[in-house]
């Protein structure tokens, strides 16, 4: 299984820190960067074939594959441009990276579900929990599975309701997309390679019964403000989750 880490954005709320360093590469403490929470989670799940998209300050990521190779990662860059204005948003970024994530000429990977993660979210979600979801996607039961969280303070209205049976109703509700999903390559085939947002496009799969979701109530933070960044720097339990 492969994974895609979203890392092309500007991280505007963390300026001026992100004026010179891409948000996922911001140092937190003890050599840990924001992106390391996702890499550590992938390593714990045995997933080491990773694609990272880049846009804002893209050159800063070019040494990352070499840095991670000794740790057993095969990391490739899906470069969308050299500045945030050239970044393709989430849906556009996935479409642009699809030849790396699920090449059509490789029978073993063309239809293989892949995980999508945000490079600036920190959590202790066990990605091994997505393996049964991958089997359901392979079997054609659903096309995408989301990990949602109870509404955080910065998004009190929520954007969905996850029902006990795993079905999803889009719109204001008690749950927010947790920036973790697993999806079928087939839903992106044929889409134009251009800037496009993931939502509301993705909600069509909820309305047609082709989406499932679960609610994660463990440690999860979207580090979006200087106060949240400073709080994370002084959280030793959270920092331990970023080691791999």
If pLDDT is split at 50, 70 and 90, which confidence band does 81 have?
A: confident
Distance of CA 225 to the CA centre of its chain: 19
Count of residues in the chain: 244
Per CATH, is 2-240 categorized as 3.90.550.10? yes
Q: How far apart are the first and last CA of the chain?
A: 19
If pLDDT is split at 50, 70 and 90, which confidence band does 84 have?
A: confident
Over residues 117-131, mean pLDDT: 96
Over residues 212-233, mean pLDDT: 92
* Residues above pLDDT 70, as percent of the chain: 100
If pLDDT is split at 50, 70 and 90, which confidence band does 212 have?
A: very high
Over residues 95-119, mean pLDDT: 95
Phi, psi (rounded to 5 degrees) for 230 = -65, -35
Q: Is the pLDDT of residue 19 over 90?
A: no
**Domains of the chain: which residue ranges?**
2-240
Q: What is the pLDDT of residue 34?
A: 94
C-alpha–C-alpha distance, residues 242 and 38, integer Å:
8
Q: What is the pLDDT of residue 156?
A: 95
Q: In whole numbers, what is the pLDDT of the chain averaged over residues? A: 94
pLDDT for 133-158, tens place per residue? 999 999 999 999 999 999 999 999 99
Over residues 37-59, mean pLDDT: 96
Over residues 24-43, mean pLDDT: 94
Element (H, E) at 240: helix 236-240
Best CA proximity match to 24, nearest among 214, 213, 222:
222
Q: Is the pLDDT of residue 175 over 90?
A: yes
C-alpha–C-alpha distance, residues 98 and 68, integer Å:
22
- In the 8-state DSSP scheme, what is residue 11? -
C-alpha–C-alpha distance, residues 41 and 157, integer Å:
28
Which stretches does DSSP call E strand in the chain? 2-6, 27-29, 32-33, 49-54, 74-79, 114-118, 121-123, 144-150, 160-162, 168-170, 175-183, 211-215, 220-222
3-state secondary structure of 6: strand
């Amino acid at each position: 299984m492969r994974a895609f880490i979203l890392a092309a954005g500007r991280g505007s709320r963390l300026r001026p820190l992100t004026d010179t360093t891409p948000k996922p590469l911001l140092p937190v403490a003890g050599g840990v960067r924001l992106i390391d929470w996702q890499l550590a989670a992938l390593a714990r799940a045995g997933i080491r074939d990773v694609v990272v998209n880049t846009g804002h300050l893209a050159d800063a990521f070019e040494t990352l594959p070499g840095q991670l190779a000794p740790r057993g990662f095969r990391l490739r860059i899906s470069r969308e441009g050299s500045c945030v204005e050239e970044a393709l948003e989430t849906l556009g970024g996935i479409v642009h990276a699809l030849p790396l994530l699920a090449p059509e000429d490789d029978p073993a990977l063309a239809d293989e579900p892949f995980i999508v993660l945000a490079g600036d979210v920190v959590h202790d979600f066990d990605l091994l929990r997505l393996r049964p979801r991958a089997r359901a996607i392979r079997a054609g039961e659903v096309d995408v599975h989301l990990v949602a969280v109870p509404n955080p303070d910065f998004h009190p209205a929520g954007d969905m309701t996850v029902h006990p049976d795993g079905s999803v109703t889009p719109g204001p509700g008690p749950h927010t997309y947790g920036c973790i999903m697993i999806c079928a390559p087939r839903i992106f085939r044929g889409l134009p390679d251009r800037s496009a947002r993931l939502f509301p496009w993705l909600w069509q799969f909820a309305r047609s019964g082709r989406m499932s979701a679960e609610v994660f109530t463990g440690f999860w933070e979207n580090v979006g403000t200087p106060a949240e960044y400073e709080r994370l720097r002084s959280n030793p339990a959270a920092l331990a989750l970023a080691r791999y």
